[in-house]
Structure 1
Amino acid sequence: MTTCDSSPRVLLVGATGEVGRLAATDMIGRGAHLALAGRNEQRLAELAASSGCPSRRLDAYDLDACARTGPWALVKLGRLDGVLVTIGIAGFGPAAEVPDAAAEHLMTVNALCPMAVLRGAIPAVRDGGFLAAVSGAIVNAPLIGTADYAASKTALACWLGVLAREVRSRHIAVVDARLRHMDTGFASRAVVGNPPPLRPGNDPGPEVRALIDHLVGHLAKLAPPGPRPHQGR
């Protein structure tokens, strides 16, 4: 693999989740070179073995390790065109009943972890690349019984909006992916509580495919990338 290869080189964090695995399969099918990070060690090993992609186990609570993941991907890939973070966890219940520990967990996994990954990747991503994270449609219309869950995702969305202005001079696209409610079983794996009544979820395949179309389309509009020196943290 050489840095003059124009195939996208992307760090995918959350590669062992449902959305992450779909995104990985889609991008690999398009010829992208990926560096994979995720929590589930077995799934990560299987995906890395089948794809030949470098991988790194990541715990969302280790924010220092999250911040080092972008520089790690740059070293492994030789160039970093973009970062996509698909990590997330659901949690439900009236605000007065959600335990503080559960609220902290939601904020760490849904906001602080993606922020740390993207913050650490800013110097590593090439000019004109992208920094993307999945927040979700809950940011647009929070339901009763989702206060802490919605707050964590909204915090990430707000942060991404400010980041977009801060990196505009480098022509880096910051993407707040507010994917619609999808049939992935995500709500059934909530860290606390039971989900409110939800309409049937959308097929995740087209949702993820549209996101990858957008990210890869952004890179396709750019001039061929030149080499960028490795940067550590």
Structure 2
Amino acid sequence: MSDISGKAFLVVGATGALGSRIARLLADRGADVTVSGRSADALEGLGIDGAHAVTADLREPDAPRSVVAAAVERHGRLDGLVIAAGVVAFGAVTDIDDDTVDDLLLIDFLAPLRLIRAALPVMEAGGVILGISAVVAEKPLPNMAVYSAAKAATAALFTAVRGEARRRKIRVVDVRPPHTETGLANRAIAGEPPKLPTGLDPDAVADRIVEALLGKETDVPSDAF
């Protein structure tokens, strides 16, 4: 998929540090891009010429299906899906309340599952679905147990779905970048982040993700960044 002019991509979580960069890179290469996020103002503020914006709260059960349907309706096709939405929470497992667990699972696991379920039947042959899990899917950390478990479940989902999607000639990619300076830790839905070393440059990480998206890879572990 090196030539993406006229191809249609949906980027979910497009107002985040990585999602916004990925959406812009795809648009700059000539793709038709639908961007989705929770805030209409933030989507408008992306300033990506020609981008189709769809506001959605991924905690709502029907939101993933609606976003995919809106992208297909707008462009008449779907060639790629990037799942860049996510939330994080910090704290010992005994301190994380059920509401926080629910949000972590809804956004970090159930939303990707629902997006995949909606996208696979309508995606063009030769298409690609890429999800951004995290290094904690490989190396679960204390005081991030629930977040680590949610991301590990999502990584397992992508690995398992890959075989199913192959029959439809669709590539499924799981990328697990190391700690990146996205600001996500400072927007945690619970708890305080630990002292973290300086993370990777989000521009470099987004470039690497787009390389995987448009190439032939299916698994991009943390040590590939």
Same fold by TM-score, threshold 0.5 exceeded? yes
Aligned length: 214
User: 2:45 is aligned with what amino acid?
Assistant: E
Pick the structure with greater CA Rg: 1
Residues in 2 aligned to 1:162 and 1:194: alpha-carbon distance in whole angstroms: 33
Match of 2:190 among 189, 192, 196: 192
Q: Deviation of residue 218 (structure 1)? A: 4.2
Alpha-carbon deviations, 1:122-150, whole Å to 9, x = none? 11111111111110111111211000111
- 1:68: how far off? 2.5
Separation in structure 2 between the aligned mates of residue 6 and residue 46 of structure 1, nearest angstrom: 24
Matches of 1:6 and 1:169 in 2, distance apart?
25
Alignment deviations for residues 185-214 of structure 1 (CA, whole Å, 9 cap, x no partner): 111110011122322111011111111012
Unaligned runs of 5+ in 2: 218-225
Aligned-pair distance for 1:183? 0.8
In structure 2, the partner of 1:152 is 150
Task: Report runs of 4+ in structure 1 exceeding 2 Å deviation.
Answer: 5-8
How far apart are 1:50 and its partner, in Å?
4.2
Q: Secondary structure at 1:170's aligned position in 2? A: coil
Looking at structure 1, the residues matched to 40 and 69 of structure 2 have their Cα atoms a distance apart, in angstroms, of 21
**Equivalent position of 1:180 in the other structure:** 178
Aligned-residue Cα RMSD (Å) equals 1.6
Partners of 1:68 and 1:117 within 8 A in 2: no
CA deviations 1:167-196 (Å, max 9, x no partner) are 111221111111121011111110011122
User: Could you tell me whether the CA contact under 8 Å between 1:89 and 1:110 is conserved in 2?
Assistant: yes
**Structure 1 residue aligned with 2:58:** 60
Shift of 1:29: 1.4
Equivalent in 102, 123, 129 of residue 100 of structure 2: 102
CA contact (8 A) 1:69 1:120 kept: no
User: Is 1:142 matched up with 2:132?
Assistant: no
2:196 is the counterpart of 1:170: no
For 2:104 and 2:22, the matched residues in 1 are separated by 23
In structure 2, distance between residues paired with 1:71 and 1:123 = 11
Counterpart in 1 of 2:23? 24
Matched residue of 2:104: which SS? helix
Displacement after TM superposition at 1:105 (Å): 0.9
With the length of structure 1 as denominator, give the TM-score of the two structures: 0.87
1:46 alignment partner AA: G
Which letter does structure 1 place at the counterpart of 2:52? P
DSSP 3-state at the match of 1:198:
coil
Contact 1:92/1:195 (<8 A) preserved: yes
> Pick from 64, 67, 70: which aligns with 2:68?
70
Structure 1 gap ranges (5+): 220-233
In 2, the alpha carbon distance for the partners of 1:196 and 1:213 equals 31
Distance in 2, matches of 1:50 and 1:188, equals 26
Residues 13 and 84 in structure 2, CA contact (< 8 A), matched pair in contact too: yes
TM-score, normalising length from structure 2? 0.90
Q: How much does 1:78 deviate? A: 1.7
1:104 and 1:192 mapped to 2: Cα distance? 12
Residue 63 of structure 1 aligns to a residue whose secondary structure is: coil
Among all aligned residue pairs of Structure 1 and Structure 2, give the percentage whose two residues are the same amino acid: 33
Secondary structure of residue in 1 paired with 2:94: coil
CA distance, structure 2, for counterparts of residue 161 and residue 176 of structure 1:
8
2:125 to 124, 127, 130: 127
Inter-partner Cα distance in structure 2 for 1:130 and 1:50: 22
| Amino acid aligned to 1:32 | A
CA–CA separation in structure 1 for the residues paired with 2:205 and 2:45: 24
Does the 8 Å contact 1:15/1:38 carry over to 2? yes
1:213-232 to 2 correspondences below 5 Å: 213-218=211-216
